[in-house]
């Protein structure tokens, strides 16, 4: 049995059993409260640069199925669980989680009181973290803590560049509208929702020039989800500024934050973020509450929206953070949550229905 140790920047040290690959993982420790969906979460590009910890105690019991991948590989830097199931039982399972982690050369630690550690993160905020999976002698803990403190924070890393497509790619041919996606780390499930609408889908890099996007004659541009601090993506923000008013714009998660910044609003880092499958979102017009899937560590500053031409359409009743916006004059809409779910409820699939309604309306004007 492999051994493992987890250290935080404040010196917290936790020993456990190791799984996945032997070696070291480092990143920002974040927690997710979902009860299922570990494959989708591990492969979600939004977790790039982060060590993912699940609060649900048993992980791996239904194995791994490649149909659930949200990208081509695991994107989280490491994995922290209370108990790992090494013998899954499910008709869809193609391999166990330990094998999946080894294939992707990702380190994991089990035997951790994840709920206690989550309480610590909620009290003190997200922290830099390092996991070491080893065989043999116990490593020097003081050296691991020193390395953890010297590693860059999430705001200092070029994480979007790691997950964005490198060259423009025609992803799907349909008979519907032409959709260009600015890929900041898009999930496969978002593309699947666009395919259901029979849209033509083209992905472009996050640093693509706005003229190249307009050259595709899109009916709409979607700015995708992705990892990291939105305020560091100056090129993408400028691209959105230049697209505003020329083509309908839609944003999801990081894309929502980028649109807000492009219109003159501000963003800030949340203490411990929103990551899970049961976050309530309230429609400001109807009062209807949706249960949503979320995965983000930054949010739009509510009071900075005044004077930008934007208005708040949805709010989070837990902490009153901004969950949706639209422009009062321009064709711009975005949401902070993940309307595609995966993992999570399907309450907000209608985002895509509304998106195509607005695209058709714009095309007929």
Hey, what are 292's tokens? 């949503």
Question: Is 65 designated active site?
Answer: no
**In sequence order, which residues have a C-beta less than 8 Å from that of residue 225 and are 6 or more positions away?**
45, 46, 184, 185, 186, 187, 190, 252, 253, 254, 255, 295, 338
Which entry of 129, 184, 208, 253 is annotated as an active-site residue? 253
The answer to whether 70 touches 100, Cβ cutoff 8 Å, is: no
327 included as an active-site residue: no
Instruction: Say if residues 305 and 336 touch (Cβ distance below 8 Å).
Output: no
**Catalytic residue of the set 40, 70, 110, 340:** 340
DSSP codes of every residue in 75-127: -BSEEE-SEE-SS---TT--B-HHHHHHHTT-EEEES--HHHHHHHHHHH--E
Does residue 343 have a cis bond before it (omega within 30 degrees)?
A: yes
CA 294/CA 187 separation, integer angstroms: 13
The β-bridge partners of 183 are: 205
Structural contact between residues 42 and 66, judged by C-beta atoms closer than 8 angstroms: no
Task: Give 93's contacts (C-beta < 8 A, 6+ positions apart).
Answer: 62, 63, 64, 65
> Is residue 301 among the annotated active site residues?
no
Given the residues 279, 296, 327, 338, the one annotated as active site: 338
Hey, which residues are catalytic here? 253, 338, 340
């Amino acid at each position: 049995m492999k051994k493992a140790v987890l250290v935080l920047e404040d010196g917290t040290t936790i020993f456990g059993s190791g799984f996945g690959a032997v070696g070291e993982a480092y990143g920002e420790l974040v927690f997710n409260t979902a009860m299922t969906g570990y494959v989708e979460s591990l492969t979600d590009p939004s977790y790039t640069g982060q060590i993912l910890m699940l609060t649900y105690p048993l992980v791996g019991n239904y194995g791994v199925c490649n149909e659930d991948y949200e990208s081509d590989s695991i994107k989280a830097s490491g994995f922290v669980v209370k108990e790992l199931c090494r013998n899954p039982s499910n008709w869809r399972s193609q391999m166990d989680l330990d094998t999946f982690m080894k294939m992707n050369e990702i380190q994991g630690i089990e035997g951790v009181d994840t709920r206690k550690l989550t309480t610590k993160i909620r009290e003190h905020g997200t922290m830099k973290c390092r996991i070491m999976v080893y065989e043999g002698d116990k490593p020097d803990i003081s050296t691991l803590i020193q390395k953890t403190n010297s590693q860059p924070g999430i705001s200092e890393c070029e994480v979007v560049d790691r997950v964005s497509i490198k060259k423009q790619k025609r992803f799907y041919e349909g008979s519907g509208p032409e959709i260009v996606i600015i890929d900041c780390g898009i999930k496969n499930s978002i593309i699947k929702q666009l395919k259901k609408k029979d849209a033509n889908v083209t992905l472009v890099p996050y640093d693509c020039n706005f003229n190249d996007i307009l050259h595709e004659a899109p009916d709409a541009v979607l700015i995708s989800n992705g990892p990291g601090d939105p305020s560091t993506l100056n090129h993408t923000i400028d691209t959105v500024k230049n697209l505003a008013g020329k083509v309908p714009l839609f944003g999801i998660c990081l894309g929502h934050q980028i649109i807000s910044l492009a219109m003159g609003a501000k963003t800030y880092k949340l203490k411990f973020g929103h990551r899970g499958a049961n976050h309530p979102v309230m429609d400001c017009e109807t009062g209807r509450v949706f249960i949503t899937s979320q995965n983000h560590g930054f949010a739009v500053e509510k009071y900075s929206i005044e004077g930008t031409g934007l208005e708040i359409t949805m709010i989070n009743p837990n902490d009153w953070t901004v969950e949706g916006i639209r422009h009062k004059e321009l064709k711009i809409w975005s949401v902070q949550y993940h309307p595609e779910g995966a993992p999570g409820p399907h309450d907000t699939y209608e985002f895509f229905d509304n998106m195509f309604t607005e695209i058709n309306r714009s095309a007929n004007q």
